[in-house]
Protein backbone atom coordinates (compact mmCIF):
# COMPACT_ATOMS: atom_id res chain seq x y z
CA UNK A 1 0.00 0.00 0.00
CA UNK A 2 1.61 3.22 -1.19
CA UNK A 3 1.05 5.99 1.33
CA UNK A 4 4.04 8.07 0.31
CA UNK A 5 3.46 11.60 -0.99
CA UNK A 6 6.93 12.49 -2.21
CA UNK A 7 6.83 15.30 -4.75
CA UNK A 8 3.28 16.32 -3.78
CA UNK A 9 2.20 19.64 -2.28
CA UNK A 10 -0.72 20.04 0.13
CA UNK A 11 -2.64 22.85 1.78
CA UNK A 12 -4.33 22.14 5.11
CA UNK A 13 -6.73 24.74 6.51
CA UNK A 14 -7.29 25.12 10.23
CA UNK A 15 -3.84 23.59 10.60
CA UNK A 16 -2.42 25.35 13.65
CA UNK A 17 -3.70 22.75 16.15
CA UNK A 18 -5.95 19.75 16.69
CA UNK A 19 -7.10 17.70 13.72
CA UNK A 20 -5.62 20.07 11.13
CA UNK A 21 -2.15 19.93 12.70
CA UNK A 22 -2.33 16.14 12.96
CA UNK A 23 -3.27 15.86 9.28
CA UNK A 24 -0.44 18.18 8.29
CA UNK A 25 2.00 16.10 10.32
CA UNK A 26 0.92 12.86 8.64
CA UNK A 27 1.23 14.39 5.17
CA UNK A 28 4.67 15.84 5.89
CA UNK A 29 5.84 12.55 7.39
CA UNK A 30 4.82 10.92 4.11
CA UNK A 31 7.01 13.34 2.16
CA UNK A 32 4.53 16.03 1.09
CA UNK A 33 5.36 19.71 1.07
CA UNK A 34 2.69 21.25 3.29
CA UNK A 35 1.32 24.77 3.54
CA UNK A 36 -0.36 25.32 6.90
CA UNK A 37 -3.17 27.86 7.00
CA UNK A 38 -5.34 29.38 9.71
CA UNK A 39 -6.16 32.86 10.97
CA UNK A 40 -3.42 33.51 13.54
CA UNK A 41 0.20 33.93 12.39
CA UNK A 42 1.71 33.23 15.82
CA UNK A 43 -0.09 29.89 16.13
CA UNK A 44 0.93 28.94 12.59
CA UNK A 45 4.55 29.81 13.23
CA UNK A 46 4.53 27.60 16.32
CA UNK A 47 2.88 24.74 14.41
CA UNK A 48 5.39 24.97 11.57
CA UNK A 49 8.25 24.84 14.06
CA UNK A 50 6.70 21.72 15.61
CA UNK A 51 6.69 20.00 12.20
CA UNK A 52 10.19 21.07 11.18
CA UNK A 53 12.51 18.23 10.29
CA UNK A 54 9.91 15.88 8.83
CA UNK A 55 10.33 14.37 5.36
CA UNK A 56 8.36 17.16 3.67
CA UNK A 57 9.03 20.90 3.83
CA UNK A 58 6.45 22.89 5.85
CA UNK A 59 5.48 26.55 5.46
CA UNK A 60 2.55 28.67 6.63
CA UNK A 61 0.23 31.39 5.38
CA UNK A 62 -2.37 33.18 7.49
CA UNK A 63 -5.83 33.27 5.90
CA UNK A 64 -9.43 33.39 7.07
CA UNK A 65 -11.06 30.21 5.82
CA UNK A 66 -14.33 31.98 5.07
CA UNK A 67 -12.78 34.70 2.88
CA UNK A 68 -12.43 33.61 -0.76
CA UNK A 69 -9.88 36.32 -1.55
CA UNK A 70 -7.66 35.11 1.29
CA UNK A 71 -8.07 31.52 0.11
CA UNK A 72 -6.89 32.51 -3.36
CA UNK A 73 -3.96 34.41 -1.88
CA UNK A 74 -2.90 31.38 0.16
CA UNK A 75 -3.06 29.16 -2.91
CA UNK A 76 -1.01 31.67 -4.91
CA UNK A 77 1.58 31.76 -2.12
CA UNK A 78 1.71 27.96 -2.11
CA UNK A 79 2.32 27.82 -5.84
CA UNK A 80 5.02 30.48 -5.53
CA UNK A 81 6.73 28.67 -2.63
CA UNK A 82 6.48 25.07 -3.80
CA UNK A 83 5.67 25.31 -7.51
CA UNK A 84 2.66 23.02 -7.42
CA UNK A 85 -0.54 22.10 -5.59
CA UNK A 86 -1.83 18.53 -5.52
CA UNK A 87 -3.81 18.13 -2.29
CA UNK A 88 -6.34 20.30 -0.45
CA UNK A 89 -7.63 19.44 3.02
CA UNK A 90 -10.55 21.63 4.12
CA UNK A 91 -10.42 21.28 7.89
CA UNK A 92 -11.15 24.79 9.20
CA UNK A 93 -14.49 25.16 10.98
CA UNK A 94 -16.25 27.29 13.54
CA UNK A 95 -19.13 26.87 15.98
CA UNK A 96 -20.14 30.13 17.71
CA UNK A 97 -23.38 28.71 19.13
CA UNK A 98 -24.03 25.84 21.54
CA UNK A 99 -27.64 25.10 22.44
CA UNK A 100 -31.02 24.54 20.77
CA UNK A 101 -30.96 25.40 17.09
CA UNK A 102 -33.99 27.69 17.37
CA UNK A 103 -32.03 29.92 19.75
CA UNK A 104 -29.20 30.73 17.36
CA UNK A 105 -29.14 34.31 16.11
CA UNK A 106 -28.73 35.15 12.46
CA UNK A 107 -25.18 36.49 12.81
CA UNK A 108 -24.02 33.26 14.45
CA UNK A 109 -25.81 31.18 11.83
CA UNK A 110 -24.29 33.12 8.94
CA UNK A 111 -20.77 32.98 10.42
CA UNK A 112 -21.04 29.19 10.70
CA UNK A 113 -22.22 28.87 7.09
CA UNK A 114 -19.54 31.29 5.87
CA UNK A 115 -16.68 29.20 7.27
CA UNK A 116 -17.98 25.63 7.37
CA UNK A 117 -19.90 25.52 4.09
CA UNK A 118 -19.06 28.45 1.82
CA UNK A 119 -15.45 28.32 2.97
CA UNK A 120 -15.08 24.73 1.80
CA UNK A 121 -16.63 25.59 -1.55
CA UNK A 122 -14.44 28.67 -1.96
CA UNK A 123 -11.18 26.80 -1.32
CA UNK A 124 -12.23 24.03 -3.71
CA UNK A 125 -13.05 26.58 -6.41
CA UNK A 126 -9.77 28.44 -5.97
CA UNK A 127 -7.65 25.28 -5.91
CA UNK A 128 -9.37 23.90 -8.99
CA UNK A 129 -8.91 27.07 -11.02
CA UNK A 130 -5.30 27.58 -9.96
CA UNK A 131 -4.01 24.00 -10.22
CA UNK A 132 -6.36 21.03 -10.23
CA UNK A 133 -8.07 21.86 -13.53
CA UNK A 134 -4.77 21.47 -15.34
CA UNK A 135 -3.06 18.75 -13.31
CA UNK A 136 -5.70 16.94 -11.23
CA UNK A 137 -5.59 16.54 -7.49
CA UNK A 138 -7.18 15.19 -4.34
CA UNK A 139 -9.49 17.00 -1.91
CA UNK A 140 -10.50 15.86 1.56
CA UNK A 141 -13.23 17.78 3.37
CA UNK A 142 -13.57 17.34 7.13
CA UNK A 143 -17.25 16.87 7.91
CA UNK A 144 -18.59 15.21 11.09
CA UNK A 145 -20.75 12.28 12.11
CA UNK A 146 -23.05 15.05 13.34
CA UNK A 147 -23.79 15.69 9.68
CA UNK A 148 -25.35 12.23 9.49
CA UNK A 149 -28.05 12.71 12.12
CA UNK A 150 -29.45 14.91 14.92
CA UNK A 151 -27.46 15.65 18.04
CA UNK A 152 -28.11 17.94 21.03
CA UNK A 153 -26.37 21.29 21.39
CA UNK A 154 -24.64 21.62 18.03
CA UNK A 155 -27.54 21.30 15.62
CA UNK A 156 -26.71 24.21 13.33
CA UNK A 157 -23.03 23.25 13.19
CA UNK A 158 -24.19 19.80 12.11
CA UNK A 159 -26.45 21.29 9.44
CA UNK A 160 -23.36 22.87 7.87
CA UNK A 161 -21.48 19.57 8.14
CA UNK A 162 -24.35 17.79 6.40
CA UNK A 163 -23.94 20.37 3.64
CA UNK A 164 -20.22 19.53 3.46
CA UNK A 165 -21.11 15.87 2.95
CA UNK A 166 -23.41 16.64 0.04
CA UNK A 167 -20.98 19.21 -1.35
CA UNK A 168 -18.29 16.51 -1.32
CA UNK A 169 -20.43 14.06 -3.26
CA UNK A 170 -21.52 16.70 -5.76
CA UNK A 171 -17.97 17.89 -6.42
CA UNK A 172 -16.76 14.29 -6.73
CA UNK A 173 -19.31 13.86 -9.51
CA UNK A 174 -18.52 17.16 -11.22
CA UNK A 175 -14.72 17.03 -11.01
CA UNK A 176 -14.11 13.39 -11.95
CA UNK A 177 -11.98 11.91 -13.33
CA UNK A 178 -9.21 14.44 -12.75
CA UNK A 179 -9.94 15.35 -9.15
CA UNK A 180 -10.92 12.98 -6.36
CA UNK A 181 -13.08 14.50 -3.61
CA UNK A 182 -13.77 12.66 -0.37
CA UNK A 183 -14.86 13.50 3.16
CA UNK A 184 -13.97 12.35 6.63
CA UNK A 185 -16.71 12.35 9.27
CA UNK A 186 -14.95 12.30 12.64
CA UNK A 187 -16.70 11.29 15.80
CA UNK A 188 -15.76 12.86 19.13
CA UNK A 189 -12.05 13.73 19.04
CA UNK A 190 -9.84 15.00 21.85
CA UNK A 191 -9.36 18.58 20.65
CA UNK A 192 -9.65 22.01 22.23
CA UNK A 193 -12.46 22.77 19.76
CA UNK A 194 -14.57 19.87 21.10
CA UNK A 195 -13.52 19.95 24.74
CA UNK A 196 -16.97 20.95 26.01
CA UNK A 197 -18.34 17.70 24.59
CA UNK A 198 -15.88 15.33 26.28
CA UNK A 199 -13.81 16.97 29.03
CA UNK A 200 -16.40 17.00 31.84
CA UNK A 201 -17.38 13.33 31.43
CA UNK A 202 -14.80 11.53 29.29
CA UNK A 203 -15.18 8.14 31.00
CA UNK A 204 -18.93 8.07 30.49
CA UNK A 205 -18.65 9.20 26.87
CA UNK A 206 -15.95 6.62 26.11
CA UNK A 207 -18.10 3.86 27.55
CA UNK A 208 -20.75 4.59 24.90
CA UNK A 209 -18.29 4.17 22.02
CA UNK A 210 -17.77 0.58 20.79
CA UNK A 211 -13.97 0.98 20.78
CA UNK A 212 -14.21 2.45 24.30
CA UNK A 213 -12.27 5.66 23.77
CA UNK A 214 -12.73 9.04 22.22
CA UNK A 215 -10.69 9.79 19.11
CA UNK A 216 -7.26 11.34 18.91
CA UNK A 217 -6.30 13.86 16.21
CA UNK A 218 -3.84 11.32 14.78
CA UNK A 219 -6.75 8.95 14.08
CA UNK A 220 -8.11 11.51 11.64
CA UNK A 221 -4.66 12.36 10.32
CA UNK A 222 -4.01 8.76 9.32
CA UNK A 223 -7.37 8.47 7.55
CA UNK A 224 -6.72 11.70 5.64
CA UNK A 225 -3.31 10.43 4.52
CA UNK A 226 -4.94 7.31 3.11
CA UNK A 227 -7.59 9.26 1.18
CA UNK A 228 -5.13 11.63 -0.49
CA UNK A 229 -2.64 8.88 -1.33
CA UNK A 230 -2.46 6.65 -4.41
CA UNK A 231 -3.72 3.81 -2.21
CA UNK A 232 -7.15 5.44 -2.53
CA UNK A 233 -6.90 6.09 -6.28
CA UNK A 234 -10.29 4.47 -6.99
CA UNK A 235 -12.13 6.25 -4.18
CA UNK A 236 -14.09 9.45 -4.76
CA UNK A 237 -17.36 10.74 -3.35
CA UNK A 238 -16.85 8.67 -0.20
CA UNK A 239 -17.70 9.76 3.33
CA UNK A 240 -15.60 7.82 5.82
CA UNK A 241 -16.79 7.83 9.43
CA UNK A 242 -13.81 7.76 11.79
CA UNK A 243 -15.65 7.48 15.07
CA UNK A 244 -14.64 4.38 17.02
CA UNK A 245 -17.82 2.71 15.84
CA UNK A 246 -20.17 5.32 17.30
CA UNK A 247 -22.44 5.34 14.24
CA UNK A 248 -22.69 1.54 14.33
CA UNK A 249 -24.55 1.51 17.65
CA UNK A 250 -28.16 0.31 17.67
CA UNK A 251 -30.60 3.21 17.42
CA UNK A 252 -32.65 2.01 20.35
CA UNK A 253 -35.86 2.32 18.36
CA UNK A 254 -38.67 -0.21 18.52
CA UNK A 255 -39.45 -1.98 15.26
Predicted TM-score (pTM) of this structure: 0.94
The pLDDT of residue 198 is 55
In the prediction, which pLDDT does 196 show?
Answer: 59
pLDDT at 143: 98
CA angle 24, 26, 28 (to 5 degrees): 65
Q: Which top CATH class is 9-241?
A: alpha beta
61 is catalytic: no
Which pLDDT score is estimated for 255? Answer: 37
Per-position pLDDT tens, the chain of length 255: 679 999 999 999 999 999 999 999 999 999 999 999 999 999 999 999 999 999 999 999 999 999 999 999 999 999 999 999 999 999 999 999 989 999 999 999 999 999 999 999 999 999 999 999 999 999 999 999 999 988 888 999 999 999 999 999 999 999 999 999 999 999 999 876 666 565 677 777 777 888 888 889 999 999 999 999 999 999 999 999 999 998 887 765 443
- Which pLDDT score is estimated for 242? 95
Residues 191-221 as b/e (b if ≥16 CB within 10 A, e otherwise) read beebeebbeeeeeebeeebeeeebbebebbb
Give residue 26's Cα distance to chain centre.
13
Domain ranges (residues) in the chain: 9-241
Kindly name the residue from 60, 82, 132, 157 that is annotated as catalytic.
157
Instruction: Tell me what pLDDT residue 150 has.
Output: 87
Give the pLDDT confidence score for residue 197 in this predicted structure: 61
CA separation for the pair 37, 31 (Å, rounded): 18
Amino acid sequence: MDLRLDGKTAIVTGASRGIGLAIARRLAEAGAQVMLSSRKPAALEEAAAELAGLDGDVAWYAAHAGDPDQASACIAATLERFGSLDILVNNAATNPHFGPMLEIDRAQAMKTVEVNQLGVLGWCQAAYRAAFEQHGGAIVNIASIGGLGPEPGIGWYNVTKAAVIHLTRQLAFELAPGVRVNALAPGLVRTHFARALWEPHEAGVSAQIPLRRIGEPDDIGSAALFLVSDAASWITGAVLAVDGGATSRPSGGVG
